[in-house]
């Protein structure tokens, strides 16, 4: 599913050179559920952003489902993100003025699915996350747990094989967090690969494998 | 690009109506003020043009004078008179002259229907009416050749005099008595704008055939000759020829400006025309500069709208939006906001111009309202304005849109 060879990421801030990732090599199989842990500044988010094609590495090679994505341009990466990757964020990142329905529909608008297929898919996802009766509400009218479920439904809109979650339970109480983890487990059961950044060991215990990062290296 | 995406952009814009209201208002206001500026400016110079022609169109007036130079042994200070026969002489010798008419005038007591007034009575030729833009109200006419040839006792009167002597009635066919001689009113002058005059405005005068005037008045000379050249461009030539011909006849130096008084309104009109052009160009420049300042302001507002939506742009990018999706959305929003603002601005400006034109203006005195209350909303103003603004819209929309599309998705997502 994911093959990374000596991936590095260097930030330049004026004279200062900051190595966020130092020659990381990584192999992740399909349908794995992996958590990435490590202290802040260890490069967790940077790694996740590169895996998610939001950022490009400074060096190394990255194959996503046998496709080399290290050299792709912005629009090609957009297509990869749109079709293959679903994002779940700590602060949900829903569009504030759009309803539940519209937020879930959004990723499908960027790849031209027909109106009928979009409606069917949104309905399916609403049922899956149990928000059918909340479909016309805006994010501000929903609880944190509900908002995160909208975000998960949105991440699944184009049926991606890879789910990337950055502290998905960070803004939720522990009971809601457990519910969200329940959903993740279910998604893994459907054959999706899940990568989750967290520093909560309890949450990490839902995954089968943990990658520990420290100072930009896997330990 | 797919239609569904456009529908989505429209939907998002509707939801963000309140956020864009300020920009829309700014553009409406800018459009309104610039269009009004240009409409009123054009109306102003147009009214000037019309009332300038109120005295007469393409007119050269020749007055009696007094020499100021010695000439062939003759001393300066001699009075130079002009006589009716000079008119035939001038028209015979100057082929460039189109119309010509004598004018003599004096104040007489005029009575009619028990009312009495002391007014200027002018003896004029049939061509005078055309030269001085005098049009008869329907049912009446100006003095004609036959009136002049047979010295008929007929009068053409100004609208003010008509109102004074026959309030609320039609004076045509009625009798007025000038200096104890009865005259039949043959026409009343239609109202016209007039901003230059001598011895009062045309509205207050009575006009009778020059031949008739000579019979009720004792003077042999005439006060003025009105000349209209066939072609405007010949005005200087005609003026010079008049000085030469009358100079030879009455023995004065054609270079002596005081021997004959000549009022060349064509020359004056050409000067004034430059002034009107100047005013219009000046207003257009002011309008253009205002528009430029406005465009800078709107660009800023659009930047602010983009900045406010940084996080949202990051989200869309994460979900698979391409650069052109982002550019297109912002550009379309700018175009839409501008179109809406411009539409309302132009509509309100048009309404104001139309309503202002409904206000009646006074012809009695060419007051400020004459110039202010006749704005002109013309298509060429609108087209020029839209062309300039269209360019500015594109420029003020494209930069924020491109900046938005160049955002780094990671940083955009982190933006608070």
Give the minimum alpha-carbon distance from B5 to chain A in angstroms, rounded to a whole number: 6
Place of tokens 């043009």: B49
Residue whose pair of structure tokens reads 């339970």 in the numeric block = A169
Please list, residue by residue across A82-111, b when 16 or more beta carbons sit within 10 angstroms of its beta carbon and e when fewer do: bebbbbbbbbbbbbebbbbbbbbbbbbbbe
Question: Would you say residue A84 has pLDDT above 80?
Answer: yes
**How does the average pLDDT of chain B come out, rounded?**
86
Q: Is A109 on the interface with B (CB under 8 A)?
A: yes
pLDDT surpassing 80 at residue B18: no
pLDDT of residue A89: 92
Output the CA torsion A52→A55→A59→A61 (10° steps): 30
Kindly state the DSSP code that residue B204 receives in the 8-state scheme.
G
Q: Per-residue pLDDT averaged across A24-49, rounded?
A: 92
Q: Three-state DSSP class for B300?
A: helix
pLDDT attached to residue B267: 82
The mean per-residue pLDDT over the stretch A172-192 comes to: 92
Residue B365 above 70 pLDDT? Answer: no
Give the pLDDT score at A40: 87
pLDDT at B367: 62
Higher-pLDDT residue of B201, A61: A61
- Answer whether 0.80 is exceeded by the pTM: no
The answer, for B316 touching chain A at a CB cutoff of 8 Å, is yes
Per-residue pLDDT at B364 exceeds 70: no
Q: Using a CB–CB cutoff of 8 Å, tell me whether A133 touches chain B.
A: no
Chain B touched by A22 (CB under 8 Å): no
- Indicate the residue of B2, B5, B320 with minimum beta-carbon distance to A81: B320
Counted across chains A and B, CB pairs separated by less than 8 A come out at: 66
pLDDT digits (tens, 9 = 90+) for B235-274: 889 999 999 999 999 999 888 888 888 888 888 888 888 8
Q: How far is CA B371 from CA B40, B194, B233, B382, in A?
A: 9, 12, 28, 21
**pLDDT tier for residue A124 given thresholds of 50, 70 and 90:** very high
Q: Residue B82's pLDDT band (boundaries 50, 70, 90)?
A: very high
pLDDT digits (tens, 9 = 90+) for B172-184: 999 999 988 999 9
Whether chain B has a CB inside 8 Å of the CB on A79: the answer is yes
3-class secondary-structure state, position B100: strand
Of A1, A167, A36, A158, nearest to A85 (Cα)?
A158
Q: Which residues of A touch B321 (CB under 8 A)?
A: 78, 110
Residue B168 has φ and ψ, to the nearest 5°, of 75, 5
- The percent of residues in chain B predicted with pLDDT above 90, rounded, is 32
pLDDT band, residue B77 (cuts 50/70/90)? confident
Q: Do A106 and B319 touch (CB under 8 A)?
A: yes
Instruction: Give the pLDDT of residue A5.
Output: 92
| pLDDT (mean) for B317-342 | 89
Q: What are phi and psi of A119, to 5 degrees?
A: -60, -45
B8 touches chain A (CB under 8 A): yes
Nearest C-alpha of chain A: how many angstroms from B394?
Answer: 24
Q: Do A54 and B4 touch (CB under 8 A)?
A: no
Q: Position of tokens 């109506």? A: B17
What is the phi-psi region of residue B190: left when phi exceeds 0, alpha when psi lies from -120 to 50, beta otherwise? Answer: beta
- Three-state secondary-structure class, residue B323: helix
Asked if B315 is an interface residue toward chain A (Cβ–Cβ < 8 A), one would say yes
Range with the largest mean pLDDT of A18-27, B20-29, B330-339: A18-27
Where residue B287 falls among pLDDT bands split at 50, 70, 90? confident
Residues of B in contact with A78 (CB under 8 A): 317, 320-323
Asked if B336 contacts B51 with a C-beta cutoff of 8 angstroms, the reply is: no
SS3 B180: coil
Q: Which residue has the higher pLDDT, B296 or B317?
A: B317
Residues belonging to chain B = 416
Question: Which pLDDT score, from 0 to 100, does residue B277 have?
Answer: 84
Give the pLDDT confidence score for residue A133 in this predicted structure.
94
The answer to whether residues B252 and B64 touch, using CB atoms and an 8 Å cutoff, is no
User: Which residues make Cβ contacts (< 8 Å) with residue B384, sequence separation at least 6?
Assistant: none
Q: What is the largest CA-CA distance in chain A?
A: 54
With a cut of 90, say whether residue A28 has pLDDT above it.
yes
Q: Return the residue of B nearest to A109 by Cα.
A: B5
Over residues B321-330, the mean pLDDT reads 90
Looking at residue B366, its pLDDT comes to: 53
Query: Residue A111 above 90 pLDDT?
Result: no
Please list every residue in chain A whose beta carbon sits closer than 8 Å to the beta carbon of residue B413: 54, 89, 93
* Geometric angle at alpha carbon B171, from B166 and B175, rounded to 5°: 95
In this predicted model, what pLDDT tens digit does every residue of B349-363 receive, in sequence order?
999 999 988 887 766
pLDDT (0 to 100) of residue B27: 85
Residue B362's pLDDT is what? 64
pLDDT at residue B98 is higher than 70: yes
- Phi, psi dihedral angles at A10 (to 5 degrees): -120, 130
pLDDT tier at B23, thresholds 50, 70, 90:
confident
- Candidates A95, A162, A163, A166, partner chain B, best to mutate (most B CBs within 10 A): A95
Contact between A8 and A61 (Cβ < 8 Å): no
Q: Do A109 and B15 touch (CB under 8 A)?
A: no
A13 touches chain B (CB under 8 A): no
Q: Is B29 exposed, middle or buried (0-12, 13-18, 19+ CB in 10 A)?
A: middle
């Amino acid at each position: 599913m994911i093959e990374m060879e000596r991936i590095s990421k260097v930030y330049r801030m004026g004279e200062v050179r900051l190595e966020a990732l130092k020659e990381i090599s990584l192999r992740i199989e399909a349908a794995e559920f992996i958590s990435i842990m490590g202290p802040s500044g260890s490069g967790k988010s940077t790694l996740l952003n590169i895996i998610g094609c939001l950022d490009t590495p400074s060096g190394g090679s990255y194959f996503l489902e046998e496709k080399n994505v290290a050299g792709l341009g912005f629009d090609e990466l957009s297509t990869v993100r749109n079709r293959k990757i679903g994002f779940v964020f700590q602060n949900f990142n829903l569009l504030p003025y759009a309803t539940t329905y519209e937020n879930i529909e959004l990723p499908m608008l960027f790849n031209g699915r027909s109106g009928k297929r979009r409606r069917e898919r949104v309905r399916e996802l609403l049922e899956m996350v149990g928000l059918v009766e909340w479909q016309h509400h805006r994010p501000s009218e929903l609880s944190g747990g509900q908002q995160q479920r909208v975000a998960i439904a949105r991440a699944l809109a184009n049926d991606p094989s890879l789910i990337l979650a950055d502290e998905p339970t960070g803004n939720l109480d522990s009971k809601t967090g457990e519910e969200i983890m329940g959903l993740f487990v279910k998604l893994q059961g459907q054959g999706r690969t899940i990568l989750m950044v967290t520093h909560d060991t309890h949450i990490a215990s839902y995954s089968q494998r943990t990658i520990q990062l420290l100072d930009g290296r896997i330990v | 690009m797919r239609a569904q995406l456009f529908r989505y952009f429209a939907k998002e814009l509707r939801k963000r109506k309140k956020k864009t209201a300020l920009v829309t208002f700014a553009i409406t206001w800018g459009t309104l003020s610039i269009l009004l500026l240009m409409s009123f400016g054009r109306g102003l110079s147009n009214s000037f043009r019309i009332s300038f022609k109120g005295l007469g169109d393409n007119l050269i007036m020749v007055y009696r004078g007094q020499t100021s130079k010695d000439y062939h042994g003759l001393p300066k200070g001699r009075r130079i008179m002009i006589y009716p026969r000079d008119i035939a002489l001038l028209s015979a010798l100057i082929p460039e002259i189109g119309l010509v008419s004598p004018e003599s005038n004096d104040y007489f007591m005029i009575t009619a229907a028990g009312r009495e007034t002391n007014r200027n009575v002018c003896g004029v030729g049939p061509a005078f009416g055309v030269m001085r833009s005098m049009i008869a109200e329907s049912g009446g006419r100006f003095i004609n050749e036959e009136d002049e040839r047979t010295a008929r006792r007929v009068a053409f009167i100004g609208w003010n005099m008509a109102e004074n002597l026959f309030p609320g009635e039609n004076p045509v066919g009625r009798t007025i008595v000038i200096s104890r001689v009865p005259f039949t009113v043959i026409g009343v002058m239609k109202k016209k704008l007039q901003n230059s005059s001598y011895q009062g405005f045309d509205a207050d005068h009575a006009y009778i055939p020059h031949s008739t005037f000579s019979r009720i008045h004792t003077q042999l000379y005439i006060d003025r000759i009105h000349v209209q050249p066939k072609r405007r461009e010949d005005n200087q030539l005609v003026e010079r020829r008049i000085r030469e011909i009358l100079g030879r006849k009455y023995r004065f130096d054609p270079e002596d400006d005081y021997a004959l008084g000549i009022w060349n309104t064509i020359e004056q009109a050409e000067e004034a025309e430059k002034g009107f052009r100047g005013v219009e160009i000046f207003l257009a420049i002011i309008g253009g500069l205002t528009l430029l300042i406005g465009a800078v302001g709107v660009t800023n507002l659009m930047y602010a709208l983009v900045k406010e939506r940084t996080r949202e742009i990051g989200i869309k990018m994460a979900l698979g939006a391409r650069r052109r999706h982002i550019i297109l959305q912002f550009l379309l929003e700018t175009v839409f906001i501008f179109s809406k603002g411009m539409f309302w601005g132009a509509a309100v400006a048009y309404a104001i111009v139309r309503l202002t034109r409904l206000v009646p203006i006074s012809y009695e005195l060419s007051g400020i309202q004459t110039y202010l209350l006749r704005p002109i909303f013309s298509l060429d103003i609108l087209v020029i304005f839209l062309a300039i603004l269209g360019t500015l819209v594109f420029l003020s929309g494209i930069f924020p849109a491109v900046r938005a599309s160049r955002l780094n998705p990671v940083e955009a997502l982190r933006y608070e």
